[in-house]
Amino acid sequence: MAEIRTVGVIGAGQMGNGIAHVSALAGYEVVLTDVSEAALAKGLAAIEANMTRQVARQVITPDDLKAALKRIRPSADIKAHAASDLVIEAATEKRELKEQIFRAVSEVVPPHAFLATNTSSISITRLASVTDRPERFIGLHFMNPVPLMKLVEVIRGLNTDQETFETAITYAKRIGKTTTNAEDYPAFIVNRVLMPMINEAVYTLYEGVGNVESIDTAMRLGANHPMGPLQLADFIGLDTCLSIMQVLHDGLADTKYRPCPLLVKFVEAGWLGKKSGRGFYDYSGDHPVPTR
């Protein structure tokens, strides 16, 4: 089985910087790339802030923090992945963008390198098909926030070979994650179950069955969920939720996966949740306030 020394991460957003964070703490050299220098700076700042919180909670030591930060090398040039053994794409949940990234990175990485995607819903087989190594391509779907959530869904494409699968499992275990194996069907396991629930919560709001506060309170206290579905949707990003529902609807051709018109309207308005400051809650004040 191949040994991974350097992990490349493409995308310095919330998922990408989280993957870089846990990889660096686990002792891997990390190359973190993004097309935006501003996004890189923001991502590195988030990593340091999150590690500082871990130090405060005595999860890691100050020396762990310093050593991990030194292992992360940021770059705006995809050619920085020329020495990466494993490259994980963590870009926006848009198939065309991901395919463009994988075409470009395939020309850069060494022949032995493995490629992985953090997609939460898109076909692994389809993404692998645009690369020069579909047998060395796999899905590694991390949960958000990456440093806190223990699960990684591991999804094999049609061409993924056994060495790639075993290498992915070994990497996930080294960074302290539990893995679950999912087949390459739209949205895999977690989002196949979770997103229709969130979409139904939006329908419940859309149809006037309850307001934002009553729906979230009902699911927190009535179903013992740690977070209400609408609050969770804001945390995930309403654009991401919509993208996953569209993948489910297109891939499975079942009307039960039709995105709620209200979810579509919020995304069209730019109300994307916490990251945009407004979604089912308004985050402009000290405490989130329901918008409906």
Q: 19 and 96: one domain? A: yes
Q: How much is the pLDDT for 1? A: 62
In a domain, 1, yes or no: no
- For the question of whether the overall pTM of this predicted structure is more than 0.75, the answer is yes
Please say if 214 is a catalytic residue.
Answer: no
Q: 69 and 176: one domain? A: yes
What is the sign of the dihedral through the CA atoms of 242, 247, 250 and 256? Answer: negative
Which is the catalytic residue, given 120, 121, 199, 243? 120
Task: Single out the residue in 122, 155, 182 at which a domain terminates.
Answer: 182
| Per-residue pLDDT tens digits of the chain, which is 292 residues long | 678 999 999 999 999 999 999 999 999 999 999 999 999 999 999 999 999 999 999 999 999 999 999 999 999 999 999 999 999 999 988 999 999 999 999 999 999 999 999 999 999 999 999 999 999 999 999 999 999 999 999 999 999 999 999 999 999 999 999 999 999 999 999 999 999 999 999 999 999 999 999 999 999 999 999 999 999 999 999 999 999 999 999 999 999 999 999 999 999 999 999 999 999 999 999 999 999 9
Q: 142 and 33: one domain? A: yes
- The enclosing domain of 256 has a CATH number of 1.10.1040.10
Question: Taking the CA of residue 40 as centre, how many other CA atoms within 13 Å lie in the half-sphere pointing to its CB?
Answer: 16
**Cβ-proximal residues to 289 (8 Å cutoff; 6+ apart), any chain:** 281, 282
Q: 116 and 219: one domain? A: no
Q: 131 and 12: one domain? A: yes
Q: 171 and 207: one domain? A: no
Q: 174 and 247: one domain? A: no
Task: Single out the residue in 154, 182, 210 at which a domain terminates.
Answer: 182
- The enclosing domain of 21 has a CATH number of 3.40.50.720
Q: 153 and 211: one domain? A: no
Containing structural domain, residue 130: 6-182
In a domain, 217, yes or no: yes
> Residue 176's closest CA among 149, 213, 155, 200?
149
Contact present, 15 and 7 (Cβ < 8 Å): no
Q: How much is the pLDDT for 2? A: 75
Q: 215 and 148: one domain? A: no
Domains in the chain, number: 2
Residue 282: strand pairing partners? 278, 289
Q: How much is the pLDDT for 17? A: 97
Q: 70 and 161: one domain? A: yes
Which residue is associated with the tokens 């340091």?
48
Which is the catalytic residue, given 21, 123, 153, 199? 153
Please say if 112 is a catalytic residue.
Answer: no
**Cβ-proximal residues to 141 (8 Å cutoff; 6+ apart), any chain:** 118, 119, 120, 152, 153, 154, 155, 182, 188, 190
Q: 196 and 160: one domain? A: no
Which is the catalytic residue, given 23, 123, 191, 243? 191
Please say if 120 is a catalytic residue.
Answer: yes
Task: Single out the residue in 182, 202, 220 at which a domain terminates.
Answer: 182
Please return the burial class of 108, using the count of CB atoms within 10 Å of its CB with bins 0-12, 13-18 and 19+: middle
Please say if 153 is a catalytic residue.
Answer: yes
Angstrom distances, CA of residue 243 to CA of 89, 188, 240, 247: 17, 14, 5, 6
